[in-house]
Structure formats: structure tokens, C-alpha cells
């Protein structure tokens, strides 16, 4: 008994606190699984609907004996004026409720602290989403090291760091270009392409990002969903910035090997996996364009019409994940009124709602991925070895486009010039015309040396990704280094 207790005492315990947004929650769940695979005891703070929606992917892992448990707290919908079951950003009926959702998450702090207070021994580490600032206060209160995760890569982190440091963007006009100084490659951006932190008129946003900077600086370190070989120069530079407390442990999506897990990851798929696979099996190798624009996409229906017309006129088989947030009905009405689905039925598959993206991308029929350049999707494209058509929308997505098109040379841009901030889509007209989409698709898919070079590079990065997570690979070793760092910290304190 004493031996069991002593082993229990020697087991590291991480308290993991995700943010209610698919692009953050899903990879955080993956981190929890990876930690447990390395023998760490993991407790995930969750809420009822999020647990049901995102947590079930860990059922198999838990049944196999991995030390993962959920700490579920009721979510205070009524108190914060939220609809019942609205625990994630993509469930918000209206963007104006985003602030209330964050406040509701902040209200969980007391319950989390009561849990930590009553625990003996206390958790060795709090791994939380960077945007949950209160987790930093909790970590300080109990003198527990906190590691942050915000779902971005080293390239983005370094770009943001340099912009904060140099303020080089402040002296240029909204539509003017400038070069980010001190990067391994010449990266040029327009001020209008920068994320909220550098490109928002509202004081609330500026204040939040100032607090975020302080919170991240106080954290023990940061985990990154990437692998060093993908962005070596940027990973090295960011390590220097953070005093070696950066751990690239991705690609996180590769911790799911089973087909059922691939389908289940993030949400229940809105299409039967066999129907999806049967359709893909009927297509020629490398012939299909897969168009999916992210879990919180609220692109205006008029803009989606331009995309739909381009997919049709490309003459290529395609899968289109139809999603427009609260305005999905409008685009569905256009599809029905115009007979779009009927017209394209011989070479198109339309998926409503959630798509089994990992399964789709890994199929040999996929020849190109038309993406919004969210980092999860971009990295999943890299893992699958699929070249990309890039159409960034907001936040750090224009950085990701630069990485894909310019640094990795595995993508073709549609030529979007301005960020369309999430929640402000109505302010923008049609930004990218169908001809521009069509042209980018044609360049990506056109037979020839350029296409073959792009595909070859994409396949090479895919091989590197799989190698990184294997035993002895860079991400595997970084996870071991992270665990050792926390063990060292625990023994010193």
C-alpha cells in the first residue's frame, strides 16, 4: 500500500483548462491525451455540453487505462444571459454574446480554486488556454507553474512578438505594406491584414490584449501545436524569446490513429463516414478539391456564392462544407433556388455542419484543400501532404498564409488583401470574386512541373510530421522535456 501511495505521489498531475471554442478545445483535448500517454495524470476542467461534445473522443483512451479524468462544472447560462447549451463560441446565436460567454467561463474560477484547495497533493502544473486570464491568477495563488496554449505556431508567435516590440506597423497606412524585421525570411504584410491586437479600433480589445501579454509573460512556458522541422528558424528564434520554455509537441491531430477517432474528433460528423468514403473512393487520385472554412465561420452568403460558382466552374470534383453561422439558411436557400446541388451532383459532395476533416484529408482522392488558414486546419493539411488554396479571414490567418505560400511553398493564395474581423462580416462586401478562386484552384491543380514540385514538398512535410511524433522524434522528445521540466520545478519547489 505504501508503495502504491508513493508511486501515486510521484506521478505528475496536470490540471488542463480548455477554452470553449472548437479551434482551442479540440487540440487541448489532444494535449491531455498525449500527456497521459507519457504517464502523466490529467484532469480536464469541463462543462456538460462540452464534455458530451468534445470529451467523448477520449472514451477509448480512458477505457484503455490512460489516467485521464474530467472535472465537470455546471455552466451558468441563465446568470450570464446565454441560451441553454451555449458553452462554445461556435454555438453563439449572436456575436454580441461572446463577452458574456467569456465572463461565464471566468465565473468557474472559484470552483476550480476550491477543487485545488481541497486536493492533496496539489496539481504539479496548470495547462490552460492563454485567453483564460484567470487561470494565471489561480496558478499564482497556489504557486503552481502555468503553461499556456493558444493554438498558434512559432511563426505567428514570433510575428506578434516583433510587431509588439517594434510597432513597425504604426507608421504605415491601412493599405500599405511593410516588412517584419528580424525574421528568417522576408515577410511583407499590409496593416489591413493584421490580427485584432494590432488592427482594432476598440479600446476593449486593446486592453484585453495588453492583459494577455502580461499573463503570457508571467506563465512558466508555452506549448505549441507544431513541429520544429516545419518552421525550424522560427522555432529557434521563439525559443530564445521565451528563454527555452517553448515546447513544440505537434501535430496534435496525429495522436488519433483510429478511424472512429478521426471521425469523432471535435463533434459528431454530419455525414456517415461510409457514405463519405464511398464517394471519395469513386474519384480519381489527387483530383478532388476539399473546401472547408473553419468551425466558427460566419462568411456572408453573397461571398459564399462566389466560392460555390468557382468550385462549379473549376470542372474539378469537390467537397464543400457548407457553413455560414446564423446565416446558413440563406446560403441553403440559394443552393436550393439555383439548383446548385442538382447541377453539380455528378462531381460534388456537399456536407452540412461538421465534416470528418482528418478522414477526408487523408484520402488519396484529395488533390487540394481550400482553407481559411486557421492553424488547426492548415496543420492537418500539412499532415495529409495536401497542397492548399489559401483564403485567410481574420486573426492570425494571414500569417499562416505567408508560412504556407511563401516559406513552405505548398500553397496558392486567392489574393485576399484585408482581414474581415470575426463578427464584423456584414461590414464587408464580396472581397474575393469567383474568378479569383477559380484561378487559384487552376494554378494549384494544373498538371505540370510546378504542381509536382508543390506536391512533392507537401508529401515531404507530411513524412516529417509523422516522424516528429514517433518515439525519438522532435515532438516526442519535446513532450518528454516538458514533463522533465515540470518534475524538476516540482522537486525544487
- pLDDT tens digits along 306-320: 999 999 999 999 999
Please give the pLDDT value at position 426: 63
Its sign, for the CA torsion 422, 428, 431, 433, is positive
User: pTM for the complete prediction?
Assistant: 0.92
Residue 172: CB atoms within 10 A of its CB come to: 13
C-alpha 212/C-alpha 207 separation (Å) is: 9
Domain ranges across the chain: 2-254+470-492, 267-466
Please give the pLDDT value at position 81: 92
| pLDDT band per the 50, 70, 90 thresholds, residue 492 | low
C-alpha 294/C-alpha 299 separation (Å) is: 10
Average pLDDT over residues 323-328: 77
Grid coordinates given for 102: 467569456
pLDDT in tens, 455-476: 999 999 999 999 999 999 999 9
Please give the pLDDT value at position 328: 82
pLDDT in tens, 410-426: 999 999 887 765 656 56
pLDDT > 90: percent of the chain: 69
pLDDT in tens, 223-252: 999 999 999 999 999 999 999 999 999 999
pLDDT in tens, 24-49: 999 999 999 999 999 999 999 999 99
Please give the pLDDT value at position 238: 96
Decide which of 3.40.50.2000, 3.40.50.1000, 2.120.10.30, 3.40.50.720 is the CATH code for 2-254+470-492. 3.40.50.2000
What's the mean pLDDT when you consider all of the chain?
89
Please give the pLDDT value at position 264: 53
Grid coordinates given for 28: 487541448
Please give the pLDDT value at position 395: 85
Q: Which residues pair with 168 in a beta bridge?
A: none
Please give the pLDDT value at position 1: 31
Topology alike, domains 2-254+470-492 and 267-466: yes
Could you tell me if 28 and 55 are in contact, meaning their C-beta atoms sit under 8 angstroms apart?
no
State yes or no: pLDDT of 258 exceeds 90: no
State yes or no: pLDDT of 59 exceeds 90: no
| pLDDT band per the 50, 70, 90 thresholds, residue 261 | low
Least reliable range by pLDDT among 141-155, 195-209, 348-362, 395-409? 195-209
State yes or no: pLDDT of 220 exceeds 60: yes
State yes or no: pLDDT of 179 exceeds 90: yes
Top CATH class, 267-466: alpha beta
pLDDT in tens, 382-409: 999 999 999 998 889 999 999 999 999 9
State yes or no: pLDDT of 200 exceeds 80: no
Grid coordinates given for 71: 472535472
Please give the pLDDT value at position 7: 40
State yes or no: pLDDT of 176 exceeds 90: no
pLDDT in tens, 349-387: 999 877 889 899 999 999 999 999 999 999 999 999 999
State yes or no: pLDDT of 145 exceeds 90: yes
State yes or no: pLDDT of 205 exceeds 80: no
Please give the pLDDT value at position 208: 84
What's the first-to-final CA gap in the chain, in angstroms? 26
State yes or no: pLDDT of 271 exceeds 80: no
C-alpha 46/C-alpha 87 separation (Å) is: 10
State yes or no: pLDDT of 184 exceeds 90: yes
pLDDT in tens, 70-98: 999 999 999 999 999 899 888 888 778 88
Amino acid at each position: 500500500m505504501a508503495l502504491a501511495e508513493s508511486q501515486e505521489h510521484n506521478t505528475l498531475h496536470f490540471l488542463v483548462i480548455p477554452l470553449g471554442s472548437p479551434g482551442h478545445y479540440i487540440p487541448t483535448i489532444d494535449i491531455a491525451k498525449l500527456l497521459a500517454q507519457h504517464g502523466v495524470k490529467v484532469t480536464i476542467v469541463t462543462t456538460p455540453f462540452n464534455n458530451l461534445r468534445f470529451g467523448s473522443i477520449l472514451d477509448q483512451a480512458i477505457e484503455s487505462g490512460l489516467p485521464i479524468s474530467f472535472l465537470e462544472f455546471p455552466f451558468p447560462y441563465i446568470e450570464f444571459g446565454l441560451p441553454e447549451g451555449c458553452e462554445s463560441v461556435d454555438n453563439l446565436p449572436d456575436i454580441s454574446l461572446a463577452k458574456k460567454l467569456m465572463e461565464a467561463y471566468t465565473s468557474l474560477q472559484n470552483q476550480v480554486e476550491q477543487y485545488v484547495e481541497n486536493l492533496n497533493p496539489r496539481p504539479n502544473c496548470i495547462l490552460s488556454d492563454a485567453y483564460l486570464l484567470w487561470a494565471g491568477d489561480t496558478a499564482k495563488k497556489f504557486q503552481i507553474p502555468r503553461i499556456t496554449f493558444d493554438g498558434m505556431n512559432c511563426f505567428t508567435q514570433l510575428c506578434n512578438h516583433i510587431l509588439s516590440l517594434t510597432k513597425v506597423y504604426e507608421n504605415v497606412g491601412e493599405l500599405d505594406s511593410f516588412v517584419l524585421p528580424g525574421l528568417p525570411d522576408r515577410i511583407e504584410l499590409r496593416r489591413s491584414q493584421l490580427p485584432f491586437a494590432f488592427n482594432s479600433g476598440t479600446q476593449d480589445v486593446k486592453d484585453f490584449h495588453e492583459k494577455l501579454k502580461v499573463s503570457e509573460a508571467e506563465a512558466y512556458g508555452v506549448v505549441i501545436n507544431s513541429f520544429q522541422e516545419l518552421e525550424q528558424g522560427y522555432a529557434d528564434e521563439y525559443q530564445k524569446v521565451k528563454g527555452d520554455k517553448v515546447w513544440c509537441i505537434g501535430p496534435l491531430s496525429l495522436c488519433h490513429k483510429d478511424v472512429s477517432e478521426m471521425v469523432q474528433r471535435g463533434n459528431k460528423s454530419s455525414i456517415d463516414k461510409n457514405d463519405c468514403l464511398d464517394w471519395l473512393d469513386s474519384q480519381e487520385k489527387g483530383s478532388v478539391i476539399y473546401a472547408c472554412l473553419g468551425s466558427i465561420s460566419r462568411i456572408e452568403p453573397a461571398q459564399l456564392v462566389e466560392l460555390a460558382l468557382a468550385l462549379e466552374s473549376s470542372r474539378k470534383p469537390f467537397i464543400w462544407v457548407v457553413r455560414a453561422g446564423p446565416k446558413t439558411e440563406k446560403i441553403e436557400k440559394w443552393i436550393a433556388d439555383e439548383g446548385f446541388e442538382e447541377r453539380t451532383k455528378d462531381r460534388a459532395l456537399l456536407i452540412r455542419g461538421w465534416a470528418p476533416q482528418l478522414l477526408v484529408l487523408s484520402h488519396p482522392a484529395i488533390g487540394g484543400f481550400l482553407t481559411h488558414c486557421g492553424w488547426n486546419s492548415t496543420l492537418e493539411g500539412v499532415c495529409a501532404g495536401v497542397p492548399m488554396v489559401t483564403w485567410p479571414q481574420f486573426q492570425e490567418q494571414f500569417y499562416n498564409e505567408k508560412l504556407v505560400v511563401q516559406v513552405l511553398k505548398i500553397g496558392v493564395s486567392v489574393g485576399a488583401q484585408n482581414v474581415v474581423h470575426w463578427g464584423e462580416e456584414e461590414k464587408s462586401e464580396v472581397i474575393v470574386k469567383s474568378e479569383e478562386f477559380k484561378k487559384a484552384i487552376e494554378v494549384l491543380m494544373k498538371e505540370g512541373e510546378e504542381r509536382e514540385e508543390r506536391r512533392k514538398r507537401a508529401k515531404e512535410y507530411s513524412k516529417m510530421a509523422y516522424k516528429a511524433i514517433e518515439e525519438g522524434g522532435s515532438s516526442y522528445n519535446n513532450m518528454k522535456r516538458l514533463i522533465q521540466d515540470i518534475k524538476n520545478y516540482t522537486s525544487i519547489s
